[in-house]
Amino acid sequence: DVDGDGQFNLLDTDSDGDGIDDTTETTTCDNSLAQTAWVSGSDAVVETFDFDSATTGLFYVELNAFTNCYNTTATLKAFIDLENQEIHVASYDHFSTASDIFLGNTTNTITSESGSYAKVQFQLSGNQMQVIQVNNACGSVMRLNASCWSALDSDADGINEFLDYLPVLIDVKIILQGAYNSTSGIMDTDLGTNNLIPLMQPYTATYTGTENVPSIPADVVDWVLIELRQPANTVVSKRAAFLKKDGTIVDLDGSSSVSFDVAAGNYFVAVRHRNHLGVMLQNEVTLTK
């Protein structure tokens, strides 16, 4: 009974408890994209498709860029907003490496930060979606393996499944007493200056997340661990993120709000740091998609 509504999962027609039955909101890939031919070279277009010539609407895509460099696949799962020319990333797996960071979320161009095996770009221009090999570290070739896309709210019933699949974004601000500089009014970044911030999140004793970066973003004080609780003594989700010197907590790119794959609702927000006592909001706050 994942959503705690008294119905066993097998009998529950609304498994996430959001009031929209699963049949209505389930995102499936209705339109197939066939495997393409190999392409080579820098900035080479691997595939282009146009959502059946649609010019507005919301769409879901699963795109699988395959390189023969160790026969690995980069997979983008995302929501496409044609009207606003935005790609909202649900998940990205960079050739099964530990470097899944991407740049440009909610813009019209998503680019893998890592060039391991290959650097890949997913670009939206008008109603044209392109998969591009920016470069290939192995000097080899790339193709699009079997992929797919779907229109959202295809039954036109007024329920926008797109919103139900977006992550919750959270903006948190804290000050660490140990790092706070009363003269400047901000926190010092001595750990970063002295290369003492690890590239992988350091909370492995209590948290199994694999957040990691190739380099520490500018103005970072240290890693912190954010917890969403519902109720106050039950942790429903955790994320490691970066604390910047002005007190804002940001995602791994050093600027974006931290995202959580949970339902919209009321949560207690707690923040932990490896050298300070944890802190939690006294009251719940409402988090939205």
Please name every residue paired with 58 in a beta bridge, in sequence order, or none if there are none: 81
For residue 25, is pLDDT > 50? no
Handedness of CA 130, 161, 287, 284 (dihedral sign): negative
pLDDT tens figures, 200-246: 999 999 999 999 999 999 999 999 999 999 999 999 999 999 999 99
Two structure tokens written together for 110: 């998503």
Handedness of CA 198, 277, 280, 220 (dihedral sign): negative
For residue 18, is pLDDT > 80? no
| pLDDT of 245 | 97
Which ranges in the chain belong to alpha helices (H)?
22-25, 161-165, 190-193
Q: What is the pTM of this model?
A: 0.53
The better pLDDT of the pair 15, 186 is held by: 186
How far from chain centre, in Å, is Cα 154?
A: 24
Helices and strands in the chain: count of H runs, count of E runs: 3, 21
| pLDDT of 24 | 42
What is residue 240's DSSP assignment?
Answer: E
| pLDDT of 158 | 52
pLDDT tens figures, 85-139: 999 998 899 998 878 889 999 999 999 998 889 999 999 999 999 999 999 988 8
Question: Can you tell me which residue has the tokens 């044609």?
Answer: 82
With a pLDDT cut of 90, the percent of the chain lying above it is: 65
Please name every residue paired with 181 in a beta bridge, in sequence order, or none if there are none: 186
* 132: nearest Cα among 120, 144, 143: 120
Q: What is the average per-residue pLDDT within 154-173?
A: 66
Across 135-154, b (16+ Cβ under 10 Å) vs e yields: ebeeeebbbbeebebbbbbe
* 59: nearest Cα among 17, 36, 20, 31: 31
